[in-house]
Amino acid sequence: METVYVVKGMTCGHCAGSVTQELTALPGVENVDVALDTGRVTVTSAAALTEEQVREAVDEAGYELVGTA
């Protein structure tokens, strides 16, 4: 399952790495792809994630989840 989220506040590779690390730690997440220029984060997972799970992971990384794209 692939879902695209919009994350606010990412500006560099370190930002992308932090978000990727937190999202990859969620159960079932297989891949995370961050596009800094658009703020879009594509998450590939074995099963659907709740928006709350994703929001908590993004918050933990220090950024803001705007919603799905």
C-alpha to C-alpha distance for 15 and 2, rounded to whole angstroms: 21
pLDDT for position 45: 97
**6-27: pLDDT as tens digits:** 999 999 999 999 999 999 999 9
**40-54: pLDDT as tens digits:** 999 999 999 999 999
pLDDT for position 54: 98
CB 65 within 8 A of CB 7: yes
All domains of the chain, ordered by start, with CATH? Answer: 13-61 (3.30.70.100)
C-alpha to C-alpha distance for 48 and 29, rounded to whole angstroms: 9
**Reported pTM:** 0.94
pLDDT for position 68: 94
